């Protein structure tokens, strides 16, 4: 049986169209695969770069205080970092004022103060993130980076604080314990709670590592009488 010419042409056109669609779908699939591979390579490259440039101790993310977004501590790589576990109802709470002054005085030279509110000691940080934020801003004008409430000691301590405690040889013993981290990620010193932000021991250690201040001892007068020289390690007996 011989089909009409128009039927043959119609069938051929249908087959060609189907083949063209098949080729297009195949090409699109290959393109998507290539795009996916490129994205994977970019992500892997970015991750590799971060691992090469960001010290291991800073490879942690924390939620910002009273915000939904998270921040990687790798953003502070290359800076001198003072890490402090804070509380709103502690005898040491007025240290917020000194920490803010320290941050304002030396942030342009590479110092960053990071606050981690914690309720680990005597329940002295009972509020939620919004209450903590409002208290810090209203009572002390805090503008240095603060993060969501964090576990800083005990079996529930975050990996970041576990690493700090291991490197420094001691976990926080109370609120406003301070760790100083060098620009290369080395934990330089641990300062117990009663060592205030303007204490000569802390200022002297900062002067050793803060770009632009090496060889120049920071002092209480210029910051807010020359500081004496101290050794490395943990500072302050007791809390």
Q: Is 147 helix (H, G, I), strand (E, B) or coil?
A: strand
pLDDT value at residue 178: 99
pLDDT of residue 77 exceeding 50, the answer is: yes
d(CA 210, CA 63) in angstroms, rounded, equals 27
Tell me, yes or no, whether 42 and 103 share the same domain.
no
96: domain CATH number? 3.40.30.10
Residue identified by tokens 């080395």 is 186
Pair 156, 214 in one domain = yes
**Number of domains making up the chain:** 2
Distance CA 235, CA 202 (A): 9
Q: Percent helix, strand, coil in the chain (nearest 5)?
A: 45, 15, 40
Same-domain status, 45 and 79: no
CA distance 62 to 71: 6
Query: Among the listed ranges 60-64, 79-83, 216-220, which one has the minimum average pLDDT value?
Result: 216-220
Residues 81 and 181 sit within 8 Å (Cβ to Cβ) = yes
**Domain membership of residue 36 as a residue range:** 1-53
Q: What percent of the chain has pLDDT over 90?
A: 64
Is 217's pLDDT higher than 60? no
Residue 82: pLDDT over 80 = yes
Q: What contacts 76, CB < 8 A, 6 or more positions away?
A: 58, 112, 114
CB 96 within 8 A of CB 194: no
Spatial distance between the Cα atoms of 175 and 122, rounded to a whole number of angstroms? 9
List the one residue out of 145, 65, 50 whose CA is nearest residue 100.
145
The residues carrying an active-site annotation are 90
What's the pTM?
Answer: 0.74
| pLDDT of residue 40 exceeding 60 | no
pLDDT, tens only, 140-179: 999 999 999 999 999 999 999 999 999 999 999 999 999 9
Give residue 230's pLDDT: 31
Residue at which a domain ends, from 31, 53, 75: 53
Verify that 49 and 28 share a domain, yes or no. Answer: yes
Does residue 114 sit in the same domain as residue 220? yes
Lowest mean pLDDT among 17-31, 34-48, 149-163, 169-183: 34-48
CB 235 within 8 A of CB 195: yes
pLDDT recorded at residue 204? 94
Same domain (yes/no): 44, 151: no
pLDDT at 133 over 90: yes
Q: How high does pLDDT run on average in the chain?
A: 84
- Give the Cβ contact number of residue 190 at 10 Å: 25
Clarify whether residues 145 and 212 are in a common domain: yes
* 134 shares a domain with 17: no
Residue 24 pLDDT: 74
The C-alpha atoms of residue 21 and residue 15 are separated, in whole angstroms, by: 10
Domain boundary among 12, 36, 53: 53
User: Is residue 20 domain-shared with residue 120, that is, in the same domain?
Assistant: no
Same domain, 213 and 147: yes
Residues 169 and 108 in one domain: yes
User: For the residues of 95-162, what is the DSSP string, one character each?
Assistant: HHHHHHHHHHHHGGGTEEEEEEE---STT---S-HHHHHHHHHHHH---S-BBS----SSTT--HHHH
Q: Which residue has the tokens 């669609």?
A: 21
- As beta bridge partners, residue 234 has 190
Mean of pLDDT values over 210-237: 49
- Do 176 and 228 fall within a single domain? yes
């Amino acid at each position: 049986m011989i089909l009409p010419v128009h039927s043959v042409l119609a069938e051929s056109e249908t087959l060609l169209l189907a083949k063209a669609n098949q080729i297009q779908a195949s090409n699109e699939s290959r393109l998507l695969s290539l795009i996916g591979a490129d994205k994977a390579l970019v992500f892997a490259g970015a991750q590799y770069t971060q691992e090469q440039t960001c010290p291991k101790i800073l490879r942690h993310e924390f939620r910002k205080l009273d915000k939904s977004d998270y921040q990687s501590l790798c953003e502070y790589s290359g800076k001198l970092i003072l890490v402090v576990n804070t509380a709103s109802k502690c005898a040491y709470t007025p240290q917020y004022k000194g920490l803010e002054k320290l941050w304002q005085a030396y942030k342009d030279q590479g110092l960053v103060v990071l606050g981690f509110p914690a309720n680990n000691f005597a329940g002295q940080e009972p509020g939620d993130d919004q209450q903590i934020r409002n208290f810090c801003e209203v009572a002390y004008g805090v503008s240095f980076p603060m993060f969501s409430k964090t576990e800083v000691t005990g079996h529930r301590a975050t990996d970041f604080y576990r690493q700090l405690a291991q490197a420094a040889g001691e976990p926080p013993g109370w609120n406003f314990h301070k760790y100083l981290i060098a620009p290369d990620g080395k934990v330089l010193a641990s300062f117990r709670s009663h060592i205030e932000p303007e204490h000569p021991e802390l200022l002297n250690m900062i002067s050793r590592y803060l770009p632009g201040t090496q060889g120049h001892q920071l002092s209480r007068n210029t910051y807010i009488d020359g500081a004496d020289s101290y050794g490395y390690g943990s500072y302050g007996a007791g809390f």
